[in-house]
Structure 1
Amino acid sequence: MSVTICTWNINSVRLRADIVERLLTEEAPDVLCLQETKSPVDKIPADRFAALGYSHIVAEGNKGYNGVAILSRLPVENAGTRTFCDTGHARHCSVRLENGITIHNFYVPAGGDEPDPDANPKFAHKLEFLDNMAAWGREGQAKSIVVGDLNIAPREDDVWSHKQLLKVVSHTPVEVEALEKVRSDGGWADVVRDDIPEGRLFSWWSYRSKDWSAADKGRRLDHIWATPDTGHVAGSARVLREVRGWEKPSDHAPVFATFAP
């Protein structure tokens, strides 16, 4: 049986519950992983999603910031939460499907504006978080999928201008190197780029742009990675760009991939 997974930074699950419902209705992924839910777990509008068939919910939350949630119409087991950097921030949750695949949902720290760990504690925190993720990956992560807003656009064609963004947080060489270490140490493949190997590909566009689509100054910050034993269905990955243009949108677009182990 195939399983379609979607990852989406929703930028407040309560404020944007309507478009979550629309996505679940129109696209019907089997599992939806949300980041930046900005809600305590008991305030997530779970009843609205359960009414659409997504009755299995695992989440971690903070009031007003961070937060991750996994909504599933398939039975899942809570596979636990990791707290990196000992901050207590709600940046990870995970579930295990009946087929044995574990899905890890991450919201990596953005890192502030200055790409200098000595001058910017937020950037130092981001690099430490990534280092902790890499160490966790080396523990062995068979039959696993990592999704989420990883807040780094690794490739030159994952940003609108490689040259202009080299010193901008999310595309600096030190971040790209750290993210690649996380991916390689855990044995995950970047399934989105496996499926779409060429050309510019974005999942985030700033709210600051008056016409985000025409300007198209995007970045690919949202990722789906998988170990080879998860049965990624070749050609299934896609970014649903048009969602960025829905009413009261998140600044991120949903990313999809399908697996058939």
Structure 2
Amino acid sequence: MRFTLATWNINSVRLRAELVLKLLREEAPDILCLQECKSPVEKMPFDLFAQAGYGHWVARGQKGYNGVAILSRLPLEDAGHIDWCGRGDARHVAGRLENGVTIHNCYIPAGGDVPDRNVNEKFGHKLDTLTEMRDHFRDSRPAKSILVGDLNIAPREDDVWSHKQLLKIVSHTPIEVAHLGDMQEAGNWVDITRQDIPEGQLYSWWSYRARDWDAADKGRRLDHIWASSDISAAGHGSRIMRQARGWPQPSDHAPVFASFEV
């Protein structure tokens, strides 16, 4: 079974429903995972997406914050969710394809502005979420699984525009990178994007604060596609759709793609 999957932090699925439709019509991934939907499930525009051929979906939502959804042209069953840190946040949903592949769609907390959990509760929440994810995947040892989403960490030096200047900036601090690495190792996850594109600067997010984001190009790779080691060799064709960051009223994230033959 061959399928193409994309992940995109949409920053409000209702506000940017037309951008989602544009992506579905022009790029036609078989599966699209969305984060930061900022909507209760019952108000997400699934009818519009079904008209575009994406009649299968699973989602978790809440008013104004968080929210994750998986849209699919392929049959998809709800495989549950995990409430990391027990806060009731809609930050994870899983869907299972007919071939048995489970897709985990995740939205890790951004972590605020100060990389010190003693003065910034949001940063502590981020680290605690990563620790719970590490423990879960260490115990469950995922197989035939794909994990995608806005993980809000750019782990490698070439995943940011300036490693030296961002070492003390939330999303690239050593403690975050270490926590993400521990979670990845615990689940034996393989970074498909970097498996396909092992060298060079690679970004999926550019701040709204940049007057000319494209020219400044001060990006970070915050959005990821991983696969469990048993199917990692089936992943290929990775790319980041940078041009979507320049669409009208865009998300500050660009969609990330990969294809699989499982």
Alignment of 1:39-50 (within 5 A): 39-50=39-50
Aligned to 2:230: 229
* In structure 1, C-alpha distance between the alignment counterparts of 2:132 and 2:62, rounded to whole Å: 21
For 1:176, the equivalent position in structure 2 comes to 177
Judge conservation of contact 2:6–2:255 (CA < 8 Å) in 1: yes
Within 5 Å, which residues of 2 pair with 1:195-234? 195-230=196-231, 232-233=233-234
Residue 77 (1) aligns with residue 77 (2): yes
Match of 2:186 in 1: 185
TM-score for both structures, normalised by structure 1: 0.98
State the alpha-carbon separation in 1 of the partners of residues 76 and 41 from structure 2: 17
Q: Given that residues 115 and 167 in structure 1 are in contact (C-alpha distance below 8 angstroms), is that contact kept between their aligned partners in structure 2?
A: yes
Structure-2 residue corresponding to 1:90: 90
Q: Give a deviation string over 1:34-92, Cα, whole Å, max 9, x none.
A: 00000000000111000011011111011011000000010011000100101100000
After superposition, the CA RMSD in angstroms is 0.9
CA distance in 2, matches of 1:19, 1:234: 26
Unaligned runs of 5+ in 2: none
Task: Structure 1 unaligned segments of length 5 or more: list them.
Answer: none
| 1:141-166: CA deviation from partner (whole Å, max 9, x where unpaired) | 11110000000000000000001100
Q: Distance in 1 between matches of 2:234 and 2:99?
A: 15
8 Å contact from structure 1 (residues 232, 258) kept in 2 = no
- Assess if the C-alpha contact under 8 Å between 2:70 and 2:105 holds in 1: yes
For the residues of structure 1 that align with 2:106 and 2:232, how far apart are their CA atoms?
A: 21
Q: TM-score if structure 2 supplies the norm length?
A: 0.98
For 2:10 and 2:31, locate their aligned partners in 1 and report how far apart those are by CA, in whole Å.
15
Query: Which amino acid is 1:160 matched to?
Result: W
Q: Which residue of 2 aligns with 1:16?
A: 16
1:104, 1:144 within 8 Å by CA — same for their partners in 2? yes
Q: After TM superposition, give the deviation of residue 3 of structure 1 in Å.
A: 1.1
**Structure 2 CA distance for aligned equivalents of residues 188 and 231 of structure 1:** 8
Taking the aligned partners of 1:115 and 1:223, their CA distance within structure 2 comes to 22
Corresponding residue for 2:104? Answer: 104
Identity fraction in percent: 64
SS at match of 1:237: strand
**3-state DSSP of counterpart to 1:238:** strand
Cα deviation, residue 228, structure 1: 2.9
Distance 1:232 1:248 in 2: 37
Rounded to whole Å, the distance in 2 between the matches of 1:197 and 1:188 is: 16
SS in 1 for 2:146: strand
Match of 2:38 in 1: 38
Aligned length: 261
